[in-house]
Amino acid sequence: MRVTLASRELLGNLVMRELRGKYKGTSLGWFWSLLNPLASTLIFSVVFGAILRVTPTVGAGGVQNYTLFLLCALLPWNYFSGVVNGGMGSLLGNANLIKKTSFPRELLVLATTASLFVTFLIEMAVLAVALLVFGVNPLIWLVPTLLLMVVLAVFATGLGLMLAVANVYFRDSAHFVAIGLQVLFYATPVIYPITLVSDVSPDSLVARLHIDSLYFANPLVHYVEAFRDLLYEHQVPSLSTILVILLSAAASICVGWTVFNRFSGRLAEEL
């Protein structure tokens, strides 16, 4: 960590490079950062909100809007998956730089996290405006939401560090992660309320406990619910949710940093 802090100027340059190159050469430029989540929201709203008629929970002030309900979880999910995928490919994508220059390799993963966080901030600002328009005033909840965004960034970065190294030594990692993220997306209450899981009626109490244990072992369930609690329902997340979020972020970054440092010595040779 000390090396990374000493290299903050390099980190800043890498972040700016990521931001400048993200939509370079496109006609709409940064507008794509809003169009992509809006397109996903439109598709999910039509399929799950209009056709399958998934009923969202009731938000603050009695608002029951599927699109707002969806966005409060979809934007954090998009950021998480973006950091995981971007971090995983950051070393391979900068192979020439790694071979030619000596610098803390973890900066490449951190640059991905930071550049995507800028986009995340823009998207969440637009969501805050949308919530205001529909009568769900999120202003007093913005500070805790920002803190939650930072904790999510730490959690995702830890995974990104581990997967970045794994992808160098085992190139099939990207394909396994792509499948894993698809499964994880539907195992997280992004497009449906968590009450649908609670309403499942298995044949026995043992089966019920197994379903709950397996489902709630996914840390992203707690992250998504925390974002909805703050922005959509205007309530403080439960103590258990807060503990899971903080512990998962701490464990992820510690393990990720340890694994990265353990295997980063031979990156140039492997690349």
Rounded average pLDDT over 8-29 = 75
Sign of CA dihedral 140, 146, 151, 155: positive
Task: Give helix then strand counts, H and E, for the chain.
Answer: 13, 0
CA 250 to chain centre: 15
Residues of the chain with pLDDT > 90, as a percent, come to 52
pLDDT at 270 (0 to 100): 65
**What CA–CA distance (Å, rounded) separates 267 from 41?**
39
Domain parsing of the chain, residue ranges: 7-270
22: nearest Cα among 84, 101, 115: 115
Q: What is the pLDDT of residues 233-263, one digit of tens each?
A: 999 999 999 999 999 999 999 999 999 989 8
Polymer length of the chain:
271
Q: What is the pLDDT of residues 70-80, one digit of tens each?
A: 999 999 999 99
DSSP string, 205-252: HHHHHHHHHHHHT-HHHHHHHHHHHHHTS--PPPHHHHHHHHHHHHHH
pLDDT at 54 (0 to 100): 85
> What does pTM read for this prediction?
0.91
Task: Output 10-19 pairs: Cβ under 8 A, ≥24 positions apart.
Answer: 10/103, 10/104, 10/107, 11/107, 11/110, 11/111, 11/114, 14/107, 14/108, 14/110, 14/111, 15/111, 15/114, 15/115, 17/111, 18/111, 18/112, 18/114, 18/115, 19/115, 19/118
Q: What is the pLDDT of residues 35-50, one digit of tens each?
A: 888 888 889 889 888 8
